[in-house]
C-alpha cells in the first residue's frame, strides 16, 4: 500500500494562476480532507469529504474548490492563487471520519509570488 | 465554535526527563482528543488519542490525561529520548460539523 500520496511536492505559482493539488489514497477510506499548515497556526481544515460525491467546507475554504468523483482521489483546486495561499498543504484520509486515525500524505509546499 | 489552545509553544527538556504538553478546549460536548507528532519535514502521525468516556490512556512512555470538568487534556512523555524531538499537535472535535480543530503545536526539544 502506498497510503496517501500527494503531487506535486513543491510548486511555485504567480499571483492569479490556478492549479490543482492531487491527492490519492489506496486504503479504501471513505473520509478525506485537506489542511493547510502555516507556522505557528497548526493545521486548518480547508475542505473535507465523507464519501464519493460528497464534499463540505472546513474552517478556511475561500479560494479553494474540491471534488470527489471516486473514493480514491480528492483534488484541491486553487482558483486564482494569492500570496496568502503560500503554505504547506496536507491531504489526509481515515476509514470513516474525523474521530479515527488520520493518515496524512507527505504534503505539498506551495509558494505564491 | 470550538477553540483549542496549546501550551507551551516550545518545550526544552533534558534527555531522560519527562515532558508535559497541555491543551484546553472550549466546547464541553467535544468527545475525541488526538495527539499527533510531526518530525521536521515529515507528515503528522497519530501517537495517542483519548475519548471523553475515559480519564487516562497510556502507551509505553506516552500517556494522555483528560479533565472534562476543566476542559483540558495533556500529553505526558516519560524518559524522553532524542527521537522524541518533534512538533506535537493536539486537536478536539468541533460540534457544528464534527471536524477536528487543532492546537498551534508545541516544539519539543530534547537536550543531550
Q: Provide mean pLDDT across the span B6-25.
A: 98
pLDDT at residue B97 is higher than 90: no
Contacts of B100 in chain A (CB under 8 A): 43, 45, 98, 102
Whether B9 and chain A come into contact, CB under 8 Å, resolves to yes
- The pLDDT of residue B1 is above 90: no
- The pLDDT assigned to B57 comes to 96
Please give the Cα distance from A55 to B8 (Å, whole number): 35
What is the pLDDT of chain A when averaged over all its residues? 96
Q: What is the pLDDT of residues A50-99, one digit of tens each?
A: 999 999 999 999 999 999 999 999 999 999 999 999 999 999 999 988 88
Q: Which residues of A touch B97 (CB under 8 A)?
A: 56, 58
Whether residue A40 has pLDDT greater than 90: no
What is the DSSP secondary-structure string of chain A?
---EEEE-SEEEE-TT--EEEEEEESS--SEEEEEEE-TTS-EEEEEEEEETTEEEE-SS-TTEEE--SSSSB--EEESS--GGG-EEEEEEEESSSTTSPPEE---EEEEE-
Q: Flag if B103 and A42 touch (Cβ within 8 Å).
A: yes
pLDDT in tens, B57-68: 999 999 999 999
Interface test with A, best of B10, B91, B100 (most A CBs within 10 A): B100
Q: Measured between CB atoms, does B101 come within 8 Å of chain A?
A: yes
* Averaged pLDDT, B30-45: 95
- A104·B43 Cβ contact <8 A: yes
Per-residue pLDDT, A1: 79
The grid cell for A51 is: 464519501
Does A35 score more than 90 pLDDT?
yes
Amino acid at each position: 500500500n502506498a497510503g496517501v500520496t500527494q503531487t506535486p511536492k513543491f510548486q511555485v505559482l504567480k499571483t492569479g494562476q490556478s492549479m490543482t493539488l492531487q491527492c490519492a489514497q489506496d486504503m479504501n477510506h471513505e473520509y478525506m480532507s485537506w489542511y493547510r499548515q502555516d507556522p505557528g497556526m497548526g493545521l486548518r481544515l480547508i475542505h473535507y469529504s465523507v464519501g464519493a460525491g460528497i464534499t463540505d467546507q472546513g474552517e478556511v475554504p475561500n479560494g479553494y474548490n474540491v471534488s470527489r468523483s471516486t473514493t480514491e482521489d480528492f483534488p484541491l483546486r486553487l482558483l486564482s492563487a494569492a500570496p496568502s495561499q503560500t503554505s504547506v498543504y496536507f491531504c489526509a484520509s481515515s476509514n470513516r471520519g474525523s474521530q479515527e486515525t488520520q493518515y496524512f500524505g507527505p504534503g505539498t509546499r506551495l509558494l505564491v509570488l | 465554535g470550538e477553540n483549542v489552545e496549546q501550551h507551551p509553544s516550545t518545550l526544552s527538556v533534558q534527555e531522560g526527563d519527562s515532558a508535559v504538553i497541555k491543551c484546553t478546549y472550549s466546547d464541553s460536548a467535544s468527545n475525541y482528543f488526538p495527539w499527533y507528532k510531526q518530525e521536521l519535514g515529515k507528515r503528522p502521525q497519530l501517537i495517542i488519542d483519548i475519548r471523553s468516556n475515559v480519564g487516562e490512556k497510556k502507551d509505553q512512555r506516552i500517556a494522555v490525561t483528560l479533565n472534562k470538568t476543566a476542559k483540558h487534556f495533556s500529553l505526558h512523555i516519560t524518559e524522553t529520548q532524542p527521537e522524541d524531538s518533534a512538533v506535537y499537535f493536539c486537536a478536539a472535535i468541533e460540534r457544528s460539523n464534527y471536524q477536528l480543530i487543532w492546537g498551534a503545536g508545541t516544539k519539543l526539544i530534547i537536550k543531550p
